[in-house]
Chains A and B, each alone.
Chain A
Amino acid sequence: MFLKEYISDVYQGVRSLLKGMKKTGYYFVHPSEIITQQYPDNREQLHLPERFRGEVVMTHDENNEHACTGCTACELACPNGTIKIITKFDVSPEGKKKKAIDTFIYHLELCTMCNLCIEACPTDAIKMAQTFEHSVFNRNLLTKKLNLPNSKIREGVE
């Protein structure tokens, strides 16, 4: 019947509108729900989510050793050429030659934080850091060398 349909249309419409208003009204009177972070003020107690990706770093332990074998899997995985690995050959005391990294170059200005390099790394040598205050006055400062000076590969990592 036409009239019945009409009235039920109006009723349903008003009900759904009121439902929406109830939700927004709840948020309006509950300021504790606010999720905005007042950034520069709360720099000390700022808590970032675990999976936040700020930049790629290489982990070093207390002996200044890292786990990078220089396999260039990350360089190949990177979609926009952010990583460039320069390798060298270490000569061990027995006279055996072993491939190792000389410089791990990372272009922060090209990186999209896609996480593909981390996934590609077979030895978990690199990871995503939580830092995000990257602005600098000179673009050159964004090209970073990730392995620390005089660092070497950890024993046993192949």
Chain B
Amino acid sequence: MMPASAIFFYVIAAAILVTAILSVTTRRIFRAAIWLLLSLMGIAGIYFWLDMNFLAAVQIVVYVGGIVVLIIFSVFLTQGSGQSLPLPAKFRLFFSAVAVSLGLAFTIWILQGYGFLATAPEVPAVEMREIGKTMLSVQSGGYALPFELVSILLLAAMVACIAIAMKIPADKKND
């Protein structure tokens, strides 16, 4: 008999697969975005199931709260987003089927070759404090440099946004 945690895993995994397939096969662009959202939430569910709470929360904040909302906003701005898209051409269907089967075969091959451990080693509970310290640590294994790089990138993007959105007063325009 399956333990309860296995039931949870299979339910979540099935939800991820079904919604992922639906998101690429649906012909309405807004529905595709919603299926993608549900699929990403399923992945967050898997992280919660693995007790990787921080990763799960970040998955939701970044992908669900951020990227999917951006996608939905751009769908709103698309003309005719309510109609069904036409079916793709035959040769495109053929080549995407080939690409998908090749990818699937490659993944299965990698999984077959990977020696899974029969019993997983005890995963240490990741404390938020540790994550925060590692993020700002300058020792080896610390993430201070990538963290600062990303901050500078974001700052540059924000300055650029202000530059685009800023209104130049009419009397200064001619100078």
A–B direct touch in complex (beta carbons closer than 8 A) = no
| Residues of A that sit less than 8 Å from B by CB | none
